Amino acid sequence: MNPDVPTPSAPSGRSLPAPIARLRDSGVAVWLDDLSRELIDDGGLAHVVATLGVVGVTTNPSIFAAALAHGSAYDAQLARLRAEGTDVDEAVFRITTDDVRAACDVLAPVHEATSGLDGRVSIEVDPRLARDTAGTLAAARRLWATVDRPNLFIKIPATVEGLPAITAAVAEGISVNVTLIFSLDRYAAVVDAYRAGLEQAASAGLDLRSIASVASFFVSRVDTAVDALLDAHGGPEAAELRGSIAIANARLAYRAHIAARATQEWTGLRAVGARPQRPLWASTGVKDPAYPDTRYVDELVADGVVNTMPRATLDAVADHGRTAIAIADTFDDAQDRIERLAAIGVDLAGVTETLEAEGVEKFEKSWAHLGDTVARGLDTSR
């Protein structure tokens, strides 16, 4: 096991489903990619922590928009906000930070039991700021101060403009979930941004043990995009590569993570209490029904990683997930597949660049949908 990263712990006195227990014992932290007021208030979040080994939560604008669009859990708060004359942007901010703060409190015992490793809840900066370094940093500061919980992660996109904001936030002691990573080159830049932030924090005399980060490397979206190109190319080589590139890409990111952890720079930071930035596998719900529904969990088992899953994926893993061979035994095959992809003319760098742009655009649209949903609630709540 990685000595830098404690093994995620199951809640005491509970027996986890065997596939979840195997993930935990392999060093994989199971997080839930979902959150709602109802999930918090009815005990559903506490239940999945206790029974399915969930040790963290991620959110995004789409998740909040879906939560607000269904049920009546937000009606009372919307009525108060309407009576106060609150505008839409401020209402969105208050609703989402309230949910995340409450989720942080639910996960606080996990945070304490894992010495600050897990029990984390992520909230994203306004995605409209994805190309605005100063705006992203200001939003991160405000979210961090408003939620005011040590087990919070601020999600900052890994755009070119987001990288210096990541460094600056970490330098101020803000724990960061870097999101929307698709390429190995951008992942390397994210690793550098986190390290630079830690170095600045150390120089400023901050306690590095209080700072944490994950790097969210997106998976299934890569296969969706690459598979379409492979199908258009045709031929046996393309058919053989279909459905394998996202996993190969992620496995090589884990190889880069291992290499970065072995550098002299990291050795020095570790000596003064720094925590490694764990890879987090995101977009792990299977989009092609031809693939096993646990594919992006089973094939990405490695010590010291996080896998954040939509509820349907989490339930599928708990029911019939299997632990495949260790990632470390697959690096040569992963590299070979990436090289073969290039040899038949598929530009993976171009694909990942497009996916980043589309990811920002999708989050902006989800944010707009969230705002529209809140606006309707402000107009109709009583």
Among all residues, which ones are annotated catalytic? 155
CA distances from 90 to 85, 105, 215, 368 (A): 10, 22, 28, 14
Nearest to 175 by CA among 199, 205, 221, 141: 141
Rounded Cα gap, residues 20 and 145, in angstroms: 34
Rounded Cα gap, residues 367 and 379, in angstroms: 18
Task: Specify the DSSP class assigned to residue 14.
Answer: -
Please write down the HEC assignment for all residues of 297-351.
Answer: HHCCCCCCEEEEECHHHHHHHHHHCCCCCCHHHCHHHHHHHHHHHHHCCCCHHHH
Residues 6+ apart with CB under 8 A from 74: 37, 67, 68, 95, 377
The DSSP bridge pattern shows strands 54-58 and 213-218 to be unpaired
Rounded Cα gap, residues 243 and 306, in angstroms: 21
- The residue assigned the tokens 């992203």 is 136
Backbone torsions φ then ψ of 12, nearest 5 degrees: -65, 140
Tell me how far apart the terminal alpha carbons of the chain are, to the nearest angstrom: 55
